[in-house]
Structure 1
Amino acid sequence: MDESSLLALVADWVWATDASLRVIQAQPLQGDPGRLSWLASLVGRRPWESDVWLQPDGRTRRLWRSLWRREPFRGLELQWRTRRGEPSWTSISGVPRRGEDGRFLGYTGVAVDITARKRAEMALHEAGAELDATLRALPDLMFEIDADGIFRHVHAPRPEWLYVPAEQIVGRHLRDLLPPAVADLTEAAMAEAARAGQANGYRYAMTLPGGKRWFECSMARKTAPAGAALRFIALVRDITELKAREAELQALAFHDPLTALPNRRLLFDRIEQVLLRQQRDPGWAALLFVDLDDFKTINDTRGHEAGDAVLVEVAARLRAMVRAVDPVGRLGGDEFVILLTELGPEPGPAEATVRRIGLALLEKLGEPIPLADAGVAVSVSLGALLFRGAHPLPALLAAADRLMYTSKGDGKGRLTLRYHDRRNDDPTPVGTG
Structure 2
Amino acid sequence: MTGTGALLDRLFAVDPGAVALVAADGRLLRANSAFGSLLGLPDATALRDVDLTGSAGWPLLEAALHGTVDRPQRVALALPRHDGVGQTLPADILALDLDGQRCVLLQCSGVDALARARAERDRFFELAPDLVALLDAQGCLCEANPAWTVSLGWETRQLQGMALAALAHEDDRERLQAALRACATGADVLRARLRSRFGGWRWFEWTISAFDDGRLYATARDVTGQLRAREALMRHRDELEARIAERTAELDAALARLRLHADNSPLASIEWDAALRVSYWSHRAAGLTGWRADEVEGRTPRHAPLFDSAAAGALEARMGRLLRREAARQVHTQRVRTRDGRELVCEWFDSAVYDARGEVVSILSLVQDVTAREAAAAALADSEERFRLAFEQTAVGMAHLDLEGRWLRSNRRLAQMLGHGDGGLPAQGSLFDVVHPDDRTADAAALAALRAGEVESCRLERRLLRTGGGAFWAQQTLSLRREADGRPVHFILVVEDIDARKRAEQALQAAHEELEAKVAARTRELERLMAVLEHQARQDPLTGLPNRRGLMERLPRTLERSGRQQGGVVVMFVDLDRFKQVNDSHGHEAGDALLRECAARLVATVRKTDIVARLGGDEFVVVLENVREPAGQAHRVAEKIRHALAAPLLLGGVPLAISASIGVVVHEGGVATPEELIARADHGMYAAKRGGGNAVRLREPQAEAGWEAAGA
Q: How high is the TM-score relative to the length of structure 2?
A: 0.27
Q: How high is the TM-score relative to the length of structure 1?
A: 0.43
Question: More relative contact order in 1 or in 2 (CA 8 Å, sep 6+)?
Answer: 1
